[in-house]
Amino acid sequence: MRQLLVAALALAACRDKPPAQPATAGSGGSAGSGGSAGSGGSGSAAADPWNAPAAPKLPNTPAARQQRAEAALARVATILPEVAKLRGLAFAREVPRRYQTAAEFQAFVRRGIAKELPPERSRDLSTAFAHLGLLTKPIDLAQIVEQAVTTQAGAYYDPDAKAFFLVMVPDNILALDMMSAHELTHALQDQHFNLTKYLPVNGSLDDDAAVARRFVAEGDATFLMMLYAMHGVLGDQLTPRTLATLRSQITKFAAQNVDSLKAMTKSQATAFTAFGMDGDIKKAFDAMDDIPPIVLVPLLDSYMKGALVALTAYDHAGWPGIDELYRDPPESTEQVLHPATKLFPVRDHPHHVTLARTGEAELFGNVIGELQWKVYFELWKSPHAAEATEGWGGDRYVVTRRKDGRLIGRIATIWDTEADAEQFASAYLASLAVRFPGAGASPPAAGFARPDGGRVFLRTAGTKVFIVDGADDASALDALVRTTKFD
């Protein structure tokens, strides 16, 4: 559970001071806060985060970072009971924690990526994504994932080691304690719901379902973290006023697309530096431009849009409503992108789509899902990316390589209504002119010419849309339509 940006986003939210509260709010309500560092005078996030003075600016040396890390880890003893009380779950065992240097963390990340995304898989996946237009060109995907993780991680909880690690240690107590609260929530999730099984890396879930589950885990932790940052002022319980304040902030962040989120976080860099952040935070912000949307969007959205999922579940059944999302997980990003209509009160279950084997060498196949279709349309500057994807009902794709080296992508999708299918098909055809400028439009039956010599064919059949990307003629599309199964 590696995260940094969520702490920056939430810290930005916390700079908007809530309405004035009674003088007694949060003045000794919980057992955790009664003996907290905040109430004890050390300045933790349990104190008023809007009025607390910034920590003195310290030199960004290894010794200074070590000192800040040791102080932050010592405060975990007081943060643990506060997190447990706010979340309504008890810690069954102690959570080991330690500071990890950037070099140690990078080595840890490389070991994980080498196991989960070895060179051949990284190359094939990147090639498949580029062919389908989810990337503008093939990239070293393993290197990009490593960059995304190592530059965007301030702290993480490792479900395998059952331990919490600090990686970046800005000289701001509020930021450090918020990151600790977030990661300790992951430890709580793991102890109660087994994150290793909930977030498997063995391919037992399709990509879209896996991202949906990450929305739950990260959204729950972000929701709790924001509440933690506020509870010293607003009290230990989610009162209507507290919920209104949180809802305003969460809704504002969740409504932004990746470009506006990047612009917002970068605009905070100067303020964060003045607020006591060190140069590692700004470096992480700057690195966002190098991370392609297919990697960055799920990373960002799982926090703030995920927090909206947690808030919606809480609105329906309190903390037990959030707990239930671990026992009965969401099945698609459609559900978590529209929690108030697709996840609650009744779930909109996705269709299972099965593609027939072609006999060609398969590079990669999976589910794209609503979130990554939205990434696709935003990448190719569609003016109606959200509208083109909101009626998603299921899909499956595969990218194969013919004996002559030609790549062919096959995609079968199903939509809620025929109008949704037509809207998606129209937006997809329009995207081809942007992806392949100068290739020349053709009548739909003749396909759209690709620069590599292949053609893109599309057919709408009721609520279904079929795409073959890279074939010589429409016979491949005929076969896709004839052999695809929808459950």
pLDDT score at 232: 66
Domain count, the chain: 2
Residues 476 and 415 in one domain: yes
Residues 134 and 250 in one domain: yes
Contact between 284 and 257 (Cβ < 8 Å)? no
Residues 334 and 389 in one domain: no
Which of 323, 343, 363 is the last residue before a domain boundary? 343
Residues 277 and 416 in one domain: no
**pTM (predicted TM-score):** 0.87
Residues 386 and 287 in one domain: no
Residues 192 and 51 in one domain: yes
In a domain, 360, yes or no: yes
Instruction: Give the list of residues 6+ apart from residue 475 with CB closer than 8 angstroms, or none.
Output: none
Residues 174 and 41 in one domain: yes
Residues 225 and 270 in one domain: yes
pLDDT score at 333: 98
pLDDT score at 240: 81
Which of 322, 343, 364 is the last residue before a domain boundary? 343
pLDDT score at 102: 81
Which of 324, 343, 362 is the last residue before a domain boundary? 343
Strands 97-99, 163-166: pairing is parallel
Domain span holding position 364: 353-486
Token digits of residue 468: 């073959």
In a domain, 216, yes or no: yes
Residues 269 and 176 in one domain: yes
In a domain, 81, yes or no: yes
pLDDT score at 128: 97
Residues 413 and 266 in one domain: no
Going from the C-alpha of 249 to that of each of 73, 225, 305, the distances in angstroms are 28, 13, 11
pLDDT in tens, the chain (487 residues): 344 444 444 444 444 443 333 333 232 233 232 332 232 333 333 344 444 444 455 567 888 888 999 999 999 999 999 999 999 999 999 999 999 988 888 889 899 899 889 999 999 999 999 999 999 999 999 988 888 887 767 889 999 999 999 988 877 788 889 999 999 999 999 999 999 999 998 789 999 999 999 999 999 999 999 999 887 666 666 778 778 888 888 998 888 877 777 776 666 554 444 434 445 555 666 667 788 999 989 988 999 899 999 999 999 999 999 999 999 999 999 999 999 999 999 999 999 999 999 999 999 999 999 999 999 999 999 888 889 999 999 999 999 999 999 999 999 999 999 999 999 999 999 999 999 987 655 556 778 999 888 999 999 999 999 999 999 999 999 999 999 999 9
In a domain, 255, yes or no: yes
In a domain, 348, yes or no: no
Residues 310 and 390 in one domain: no
Token digits of residue 288: 């966002």
Residues 186 and 293 in one domain: yes
In a domain, 88, yes or no: yes
pLDDT score at 281: 55
In terms of Cα–Cα distance, which of 127, 126, 105, 53 is closest to 275? Answer: 53
pLDDT score at 57: 58
